[in-house]
Structure 1
């Protein structure tokens, strides 16, 4: 490795699977595309094992480029973010020393001093540590692992439709009012007053529509870093977007124009999915303790109910309707009532499935609840007809790549805006409205409707949406999804925007 490696890139992101999974796929593509490049992906103990398995999905047996992707554990993180662990590792890297993985004890040989890094836009401490130790000798590229529209709104400057530098405004207000800084900062970030959010190419929304569920991560680290993201972005040298132009072209153009004001490039990288090879499928399946059972279940439901008959349900690895779980169980009652086969992922640490629900699913015989699902395997299977999703960027991308239309149940972050793109812009799915809670139970800008939010309303909407989805209207949406699928997959074909952008990024190293 050291004999041929001339360029060394370091990558790191927070402890969120939706941030880390596509980043490891990007790292794999980078070493495949540039033979003199080595990438060191620094991660935490909580993410190390799963990232190692996910990396293997991107390489066939015997692919020597896999040796130029090193996944190294920095240690155990003290919070959800896992930021700030990089200092001893970075000191070793810039001193030309080897690294020792804190998870396995594996020793890695020295490599050339890194000249560039890719850091999660939430990795504020790591960004500052590298800047303090290396100054401008290293280029720091910000990793935007979500919908570009959302990141612009939450963390962009005011003139591009964003909230701007919350830290400075919060400190000023705290001094004036005497209220605690973090209380003021979180109020500025989360409290919404019915203002209209208008971004090019995206239908207008009330600001509170970006928080459709009463849900909080409840992590102090989030309250400390969120006010600082905007100014942290200002210290970076460029941006790598997880998104892609066929999904949000106008939003990406806003980002390009904004960064161009300070001479910084923006590169699109999506869709970032491992290949659908036998090796990839096998490595995904072993990440789920029920992988073999799920594979058998898919085959059985195909023989019993036919193609496109199954509903896949997943809220990702974090989100779950923890304040109103009864709405999910009511929705499942309708699924059973309509005799729809389903698989539900229960990966969130907030998900607690009552024994009564488990028994009902077991007696139904056409449902399966799993603690961790091989999502791409499920979406690629011919039995899968619809995906009920919270609307995170990765899940939406995987649905598009597999041509599975969506039923949206968004919470926060980029999910509500993705729901609008699914329903109103690309018209490849539906959004559930009666499942909303908290501030989400207010008037919707684009329709004027105010959700009722009762269990009866949830069931009535479920019958309506599922009836349409598994009928003629749903087939029309599936047909539109096929066109979007072709455009999305073309992003990485010859002449595609993402392939061009990533090649340009590699040339800049």
Structure 2
């Protein structure tokens, strides 16, 4: 390697959402293994220790030299997907980065030695202020790439230009609505993006769906925060040098190709880089993931016991990720769990969301009496999915969960809330046919008829239980076996994405060549 290569430096920043952060940690680890470069990874106080543990999952014994090239620095306290302190901390850090000065971690107080100014920055697509900050501080000398940490298909609901089927520039449209109607700008944004009106959406790679289906659960999203961020996304990404898409090319090729075409038209690059997971069964990957859950030993014990008593692919894993939870209809989850136990299916339930609250005493008593289930506030998800006892995954359909499940060869039962989740659920159940989607669990706008077949959910507890019984029976029968065969074919395709010549291997090498 030349000394110039050795001195390359890349900056990475994800906002405080684990689904945004975890894959960027994994990409950072891959970058330092692919080329002789440094990565400065910015995070928050709350995520600092989690990032260190996740990073350690990617480096086995003997790879300490690679690991030393990723430095993790906290910018301070934050909240989900936003934070003035983080934005301001990053702005100050940018000034020092481009000047080649040392940096101090807010959480630990550690002073990190100066590095050469960065060649590129990969920044959360929601981080509109940090993207502007590094462009301003570097006078556009640093190449900036938006980190699209969601299903690529969802880009057609809020950032892709009108010409390619997206909403285009929401700021301009909201300003026009506000001027025409007298509505406040924020209200106009909410109305344009978050209030369904029965429109039919035609998105690459999916059957047409109603905009009501984009919000299948009445979920308390921070609309005010989203209304501040979304109007600026189109113009923010427009000034970036390109976009990183975390989705594997083999999962949603239609959306990826259309997005790349859109970007190429304006001279920008689209890089695919999924799946972003540490190697399964690696000693570092497994041992460090176990550290993330205080109940890891108990979870492994249940998985091993289930394998002995019930056999392979017999356990049901249930998780709605680190944020989502049926907070406004928990009784539907407990009804679903009743059916799981009635059918004698072993299970693990993750309650990682801050909205989950404590497990109700009545449910705790039932689970304890059942003896084949476990409830945990945080689970080592990849370990569970990779275990031979795990048969199915009930998931909210967050993109990281979907990619992890397919990578492990585990078919899914989708229970989506919003964001990219309804689109993943539709692709899983109707396009790829590698799982099912629960319909009767819907609430709010989700109770409108489905465009695909006209079905109107009943949404009563009785309907939830009837659907749960039907779906779970099929899942553990011949129909589920066919879905498992299809998901295993996709698993093999995922394994080739990072092999030499694979889509992610080629795209990330092209990025490294460009800086």
Length-normalised TM-score, structure 2: 0.96
- Find 2:227's aligned residue among 219, 223, 229: 223
Distance in 1, Cα, partners of 2:38 & 2:210: 45
CA contact (8 A) 1:141 1:237 kept: yes
Does residue 1:93 correspond to 2:94, yes or no? no
Equivalent residue number for residue 59 of structure 1: 59
Deviations 1:42-93 (A, max 9, x none): 1111111101100000001231111111111111226642351301211111
Correspondence for 2:205 among 201, 206, 218: 201
Indicate yes or no: 2:457 matched with 1:451.
Answer: yes
Partner of 1:278: 283
- Match of 2:140, SS? helix
- CA 1:256–1:117 in structure 2 vs 1: closer, same or farther (change >3 Å)? same
Kindly indicate whether residue 128 of structure 2 is the aligned counterpart of residue 124 of structure 1.
yes
5 Å matches for 1:288-437?
288-352=293-357, 353-437=359-443
Please give the per-residue CA displacement for 1:292-336, whole angstroms capped at 9, x wherever unaligned. Answer: 111111111111211111000000001111111111000000000
Asked if 2 retains the 8 angstrom alpha-carbon contact of 1:79 and 1:221, the reply is: no
Aligned partner of 1:45 in structure 2 is 45
Match of 1:255 in 2: 259
SS at match of 2:344: coil
**Which residue of structure 1 lines up, in the alignment, with residue 21 of structure 2?**
20
Comparing 75-84 and 205-214, the one that deviates more: 75-84
Distance in structure 2 (CA, Å) of the matches to 1:180 and 1:209: 26
Correspondence list, 1:148-167, <5 A: 148-167=152-171
Deviations 1:347-370 (A, max 9, x none): 001112212111111111111010
Residue number in structure 2 paired with 1:77: 78
Cα distance, 1:4 vs structure 2: 7.6
Q: In 2, Cα distance between the equivalents of 1:423 and 1:177?
A: 40
- Would the aligned equivalents of 1:80 and 1:219 in 2 still touch at CA under 8 Å? no
- 1:133, distance to aligned residue in structure 2 (A): 1.6
> CA 1:354/1:304 → structure 2, altered by over 3 Å: closer, same or farther?
same
Unaligned runs of 5+ in 2: none
Question: 2:244 aligned with 1:240, yes or no?
Answer: yes
Task: Decide whether aligned partners of structure 1 residues 136 and 80 sit closer, same or farther in structure 2, where only a CA change above 3 A counts.
Answer: closer
Q: Deviations over 1:458-482 (max 9, x none)?
A: 0000000000001111111111111
Query: Counterpart of 2:208 in 1: which secondary structure?
Result: strand
- Range with greater deviation from structure 2 (60-69 or 329-338): 60-69
Q: 2:215 aligns to what? A: 211
Output the CA distance in 2 between the equivalents of 1:153 and 1:252.
Answer: 14
For residues 476-503 of structure 1, the C-alpha deviation after alignment (integer angstroms, 9 at most, x for no partner) is 1111111111011111112211111111
For residues 186-245 of structure 1, the C-alpha deviation after alignment (integer angstroms, 9 at most, x for no partner) is 111111111111123211111111111111222643221122111111111101100121
User: How far apart are the structure 2 equivalents of 1:248 and 1:344?
Assistant: 28
| Secondary structure, counterpart of 1:217 in structure 2 | coil
**Which region of structure 1 is more displaced relative to structure 2, 345-354 or 211-220?**
211-220
- Partner Cα distance (1:374, 1:391) in 2: 17
**Alpha-carbon distance between aligned partners in 2 of 1:232 and 1:304, rounded to the nearest angstrom:** 54
The answer to whether the 8 Å contact 1:42/1:72 transfers is yes
2:78 alignment partner, SS class: coil
Q: Can you give the 5+ residue segments of structure 1 that lack an aligned partner in the other structure? A: none
Root mean square deviation, CA, Å: 1.3
Partner of residue 136, structure 1: 140
Deviates further, 129-138 or 394-403? 129-138
Partners of 2:80 and 2:486 in 1: CA distance: 42
Deviations 1:108-163 (A, max 9, x none): 11111112100111000101111222222111101111111101222211121111
Q: Which sits farther off after the overlay, 266-275 or 487-496? A: 487-496
Kindly state the Cα deviation for residue 5 of structure 1 after the two structures are TM-superposed.
3.3
